Structure 1
Amino acid sequence: MEAAQRHPSRTTEAEHRWPAVVGLLAALALYAFLPNELVGGLRFVVVGAGLASLIPLVAVNPHRLIRQTAWSRALSVGLALLLVLANQVTLVLLVFKLVEGRHDAPGLLIAALQVWVANVIGFALLYWDMDRGGPVVRTTWARTELPAADLRFSQDEDEDAVAEVAVRSSAVHDWTPSFIDYFYTSLSNSMAFSASDSMPLSQRMKLLMGLQAFGGFVILALVIARSVSILD
């Protein structure tokens, strides 16, 4: 499989594979160690599917993200969707158990933290795979040919700022968002319950960020309420 031909106008390097892999493995580990009473054997199905999907993706791009086929693109997006959807199911189950109040309270509070962190990583992977055609397209296609952006980062509009700021902009330095940028976007959205680092532009991104913020808010509200009941 040949590497994608980078357009002569692009100077940014292809993104490293490993930050996204580390994030995915961390999310799968968090999911694997959820309490058995919360999700039962479902967690092993999700973890197994995640690891099985990761192997061919790493084989296509073992170091830098320079190759993409229709199946590798579909598999990468599908893997992120699987993680997000599984986490939403787990969130619903967690809500019911926290509301019931008849289960191991400390264990459920730790599980809530696991679900919250896995949610941050899952949405980060989904944003990373969706925006501007994905990581391979973002660094190889001419900017005039890129799919419409789902997110607007500050670097996308800093070219007229002072020199030390403009040097990192998309227009001057050919800056392109990487997994860390999407992870920070996901983290800040889960903590602030709104877009604070980058602004959603498309309707699908607004719906996804709204779903993530709502889930984070529900977890926080129920954890606080459960913690107060334990202290009482």
Structure 2
Amino acid sequence: MPVTLVLILVLAALWETTLLVSDLIRGRGVTNEPSQLLASGALVWLGNNLAFGLLYWLMDGGGPTARLRLVVPVDLAFTQQLDPDLKPGWRPVFLDYLHLGFTNATAFSPTDVMPLTLRAKYTMLVQATVALALFGLIVARAVNAFT
């Protein structure tokens, strides 16, 4: 059930991104007013990051409950897991996955968390691509509207 809800949130976030990008391309809706465009873009970006943070949290190693039994990372390797002397017994919590979502959407690549499986890599690829398209179009349109 939680996986279904998170997938619905991710699909809703992707749909909102698609609608905003479509409006940007066609010059409709909030795209004609720079302050509304930036506010809408920030809200869509935030929604994407929250949805993907939840998705990473549920996806990694089979979810939070299954990860309790794991000794080594499965889908995502955090820095603290790669060096056992750094933080003995450390386990990621939801905020670590939320941080992953924000850094992936900002840097468009892994920062301090390495994807280990194809599903982790392609999930990060989708999120980075969506964030790049959103940033590129919103910034270009906002700069154009302000000048």
Q: Please, what TM-score do these two structures have when normalized by structure 1?
A: 0.59
Structure 1 residues 73-84: aligned runs within 5 Å: 75-84=1-10
Which residue of 1 is the match for residue 101 of structure 2? 186
Q: Per chain length, whose mean CA-contact separation is higher, i.e. which structure has more relative contact order (CA < 8 Å, sep 6+)?
A: 2
CA contact (8 A) 2:80 2:86 kept: no
Q: How big is the shift at 1:143? A: 2.7
Which residue of 2 is the match for residue 120 of structure 1? 49
Which residue of 1 is the match for residue 71 of structure 2? 143
Q: From the superposition, tell whether residues 228 and 76 of structure 1 become closer, same or farther in structure 2 (CA, over 3 Å).
A: same
Which residue of 2 is the match for residue 214 of structure 1? 129
In the alignment, structure 1 residue 89 sits paired with structure 2 residue 15: yes
Which residue of 2 is the match for residue 224 of structure 1? 139
The structure richer in helix per residue is: 2
CA contact (8 A) 2:45 2:131 kept: yes
CA contact (8 A) 1:128 1:182 kept: yes
CA contact (8 A) 1:184 1:197 kept: no
Q: From the superposition, tell whether residues 201 and 100 of structure 1 become closer, same or farther in structure 2 (CA, over 3 Å).
A: same
Q: Which 4+ residue blocks in structure 1 deviate beyond 3 angstroms?
A: none
1:111-130 deviation digits (Å, cap 9, x = unpaired)? 11101011111000000001
Match of 1:194, SS state, is: coil
Structure 1 residues 36-185: aligned runs within 5 Å: 75-104=1-30, 105=33, 106-139=35-68, 141=69, 143=71, 149-159=74-84, 166-168=85-87, 173-185=88-100
Q: How big is the shift at 1:142? A: 5.3
Structure 2 residues not aligned, in runs of 5+ = none
CA contact (8 A) 2:37 2:142 kept: no
Q: Which has the larger radius of gyration?
A: 1
Q: Please, what TM-score do these two structures have when normalized by structure 2?
A: 0.91
Q: Distance in 1 between matches of 2:133 and 2:11?
A: 16
1:120-167 deviation digits (Å, cap 9, x = unpaired)? 11000000001112111222x2537xxx611011111212xxxxxx25
Structure 1 residues not aligned, in runs of 5+ = 1-74, 160-165
Percent of pairs identical after alignment? 39
1:146-205 deviation digits (Å, cap 9, x = unpaired)? xx611011111212xxxxxx251xxxx321111011111111100000001201111111
Structure 1 residues 30-41: aligned runs within 5 Å: none
In the alignment, structure 1 residue 196 sits paired with structure 2 residue 125: no
The number of residues matched between the two structures is 144
- The RMSD of aligned alpha carbons is 1.6
